[in-house]
Amino acid sequence: MDALSRVFYGLIVFVAIQSHASILTQVGDIKELSPFDPLIQKQVLHHVLKEMGFEKNESIEVPEIRVTESVLPQEKHIFAAAESQGMPAWALAKGINMYLFDHNIILLGSDMKVHNLAHEFAHYVQMHYKKIDRREFAHDYIEMEAVDVQRNFR
């Protein structure tokens, strides 16, 4: 797809999203858009839930999505949560992606794509919908399931 076609396609999709049209039914419709757009986030979560065999449960709080590099030094609880899950605090400055279980926060590096958000949403679904114990997250099968979900958004 040439640059002009991408701009035109992006404009069409943007207008459709802004008017709350329900045309974004396929993953291909959203995979090139910004994972930081709240409307795109809702669509990604919808697709991840569907792929993992769930429907949105309104009683389960949706995670806050933050740009990793925007975490301030004063937000020690976020650094502590990342470290408790095996991520050194310095990695936050490098734009890592991770789902912080205890705070229900998804951290995404500023240059990340929709597929990265889908991966972190998969961990959110594993924790809150599948009810997988946090100790299980050390096992490879947990990560592989998230990678499989992510692959569908590439």
The per-residue pLDDT for range 20-33, each reduced to its tens digit, is 334 445 666 677 78
Confidence band for 123, pLDDT divided at 50, 70 and 90: very high
- In the chain, where the domains are located: 3-151
22 vs 31, 37, 39, 53, 64, CA distance in Å? 16, 16, 11, 21, 24
Q: How confident is the model at residue 6 (pLDDT cuts 50, 70, 90)?
A: low
**Contact in structure between 92 and 71 (CB atoms under 8 Å):** yes
Residue 98's CB: how many other CB atoms inside 10 A? 21
Give the per-residue pLDDT at 2: 63
Kindly list the distances between the CA atom of residue 100 and the CA atoms of 14, 26, 39, 78, in Å, as whole numbers in the listed order. 30, 28, 22, 8
Taking every pair of Cα atoms in the chain, the longest distance, rounded to a whole number of angstroms, is 48
pTM above 0.85, yes or no: no
* pLDDT tens digits, one per residue of 25-84: 566 667 778 888 999 999 999 999 999 999 999 999 999 999 988 888 788 888 888 888
Least Cα distance to 9 among 35, 36, 25, 31 occurs for 31
User: Measured between alpha carbons, how far apart are the two ends of the chain, in Å?
Assistant: 16
Encode pLDDT of 90-100 as tens digits: 777 778 899 99
pLDDT tops 70 at residue 5: no
Question: Quick check: 43 and 24 in contact, CB under 8 A?
Answer: yes
> At which residue do the structure tokens 């991840």 appear?
48
- Mean pLDDT for the chain overall: 82
pLDDT for 11:
47
